């Protein structure tokens, strides 16, 4: 089934169709480590997958739960989203390169187990969790993004397991909940969160996916991007 929707933050159109997740590749290079602050990723139609067969491929996932509970007695976010504080001081999502010859979905689940200690007997990414893909021509890097939904009680259990993950304390320095609300001053909360340093296209992945999953409206995202802190 084809699904087409507008990507607010870039004005491009993404067509999700003909997805294949079990391709193989042999590149083990990291051409994108330098200049990670440069973001030239563009959304691609991954049904044209063979156009990117010689690219390095990385897979990341947003773990989230829908909710309707008050925070600070006044805020009622529509969801709870997890991100990571990385070893380099940037915010990002769990995931990474898939090993040469490894099935892409299997590789992503392996990364989630290593970085989050995710219990794969209870939670596992599948093809239906795919959101969108991006490509950086300057780094010949293609990113594939997924979103794994859980219940809020299960998400809290996932959070509690993170400190026992294989990569905790090395690649992963902590787990972070995204504040999906804006406080009365118009800046604290989600707008303030967006001013932090995000690795690569992680900020765009977050905004795109929040809109796609209807955890935030296009107007809420636009307002958050435009918000400025109050002086004084």
Q: Which of the 8 DSSP states describes residue 22?
A: -
Q: Report residue 218 CA to chain centroid gap.
A: 18
pLDDT value at residue 70: 64
Nearest of 214, 228, 229, 232 to residue 77 by alpha carbon: 214
Closest CA to 146 of 137, 138, 134, 158: 134
Return the CATH architecture of domain 3-20+34-226.
Answer: Alpha-Beta Complex (3.90)
Rounded-to-10 torsion of CA 14, 35, 58, 194: -60
> Facing residues of 83 across strands?
176
Quick one: the chain helix, strand, coil %, rounded to 5?
25, 30, 45
Are the C-beta atoms of residues 57 and 139 closer than 8 Å to each other?
Answer: no
CA dist., res. 64 & res. 91, Å (int): 16
Burial class (CB in 10 A: 0-12, 13-18, 19+), 197: middle
Cα torsion 71, 120, 214, 86 to 10°: value is 70
Instruction: Name the residue among 95, 78, 82, 69 with its Cα closest to residue 154.
Output: 82
Using alpha carbons, list the distances in angstroms from residue 103 to 2, 23, 97, 108, 230.
23, 7, 11, 9, 49
pLDDT of residue 73: 53
Residues 116, 166 contacting (CB under 8 angstroms): no
For each of the chain's 232 residues, which pLDDT tens digit applies?
A: 333 333 333 333 233 333 333 333 323 333 333 444 457 889 988 777 667 788 889 999 999 999 976 666 567 789 999 999 999 999 999 999 987 788 999 999 999 999 999 999 999 999 999 999 999 988 889 999 999 999 999 999 999 999 999 999 999 999 999 999 999 899 999 999 999 999 999 999 999 999 999 999 999 999 999 999 987 6
Tell me the domain boundaries of the chain.
3-20+34-226
Rounded CA-CA distance 198/86 in Å is 10
What pLDDT score was predicted for residue 27? 31
């Amino acid at each position: 089934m084809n699904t087409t929707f507008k990507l607010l933050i870039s004005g491009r159109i993404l067509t999700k169709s003909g997805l294949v997740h079990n391709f193989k590749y042999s590149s083990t290079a990291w051409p994108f480590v330098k200049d990670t602050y440069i973001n030239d990723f563009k959304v691609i139609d991954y049904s044209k997958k063979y156009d990117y067969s010689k690219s390095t491929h990385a897979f990341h996932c947003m773990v989230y739960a829908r909710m309707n509970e008050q925070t600070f007695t006044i805020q009622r976010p529509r969801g709870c989203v997890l991100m990571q504080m990385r070893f380099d001081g940037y915010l990002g999502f769990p995931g990474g390169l898939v090993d040469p010859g490894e099935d892409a979905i299997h590789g992503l689940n392996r990364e989630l187990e290593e970085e989050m200690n995710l219990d794969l007997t209870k939670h596992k990414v599948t093809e239906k969790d795919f959101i969108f893909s991006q490509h950086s021509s300057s780094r010949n890097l293609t990113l594939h993004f997924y979103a794994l939904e859980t219940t809020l009680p299960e998400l809290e259990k996932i959070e509690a397991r993170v400190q026992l993950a294989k990569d905790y304390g090395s690649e992963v320095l902590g787990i972070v909940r995204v504040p999906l609300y804006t406080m009365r001053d118009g800046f604290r909360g989600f707008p303030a969160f967006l001013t932090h340093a995000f690795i690569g296209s992680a900020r765009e992945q977050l905004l795109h996916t929040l809109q796609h999953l209807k955890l935030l409206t296009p107007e809420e995202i636009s307002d958050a991007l435009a918000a400025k802190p109050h002086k004084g």
